Amino acid sequence: MAEAVPRLRLYVAGAGPNSRKAIANLARLRATTVVAHWPVETVDVFEQPERALADGILLTPQLLILTEGGTRTVIGDLSDRDALIAVLALDPT
């Protein structure tokens, strides 16, 4: 049986510069990879602090990669594309 498609949850803190960068960098990655087909949820910790607490979010921006096998985390503005591709286990081509 094939593994379900990963889900992404991006935690941001309002419309600050790092939050905007993370959103833009994730959008760029989604425009050029299979990640375009993965569900993405953006959560603003100022609007939904209880969600951040439930997921153990202490720093933003923070991307959670939710899979059947567990959760992986990327902290920062997602500007290191190579590292992000590695964490997402994507083919770098």
For residue 81, what is the enclosing H or E element? helix 81-87
For the chain, percent of residues with pLDDT exceeding 70: 94
Distance CA 61, CA 80 (A): 13
What are residue 9's DSSP bridge partners? Answer: 41, 64
Can you list the domains of the chain with their CATH numbers?
A: 7-87 (3.40.30.10)
Residue-wise pLDDT tens digits, 48-82: 999 999 999 999 999 999 999 999 999 999 999 99
CA–chain centroid gap for 4, Å, is 17
Distance CA 84, CA 46 (A): 25
* CB atoms inside a 10 Å sphere around CB 14: 11
- The reply to whether the predicted model has a pTM over 0.85 is yes
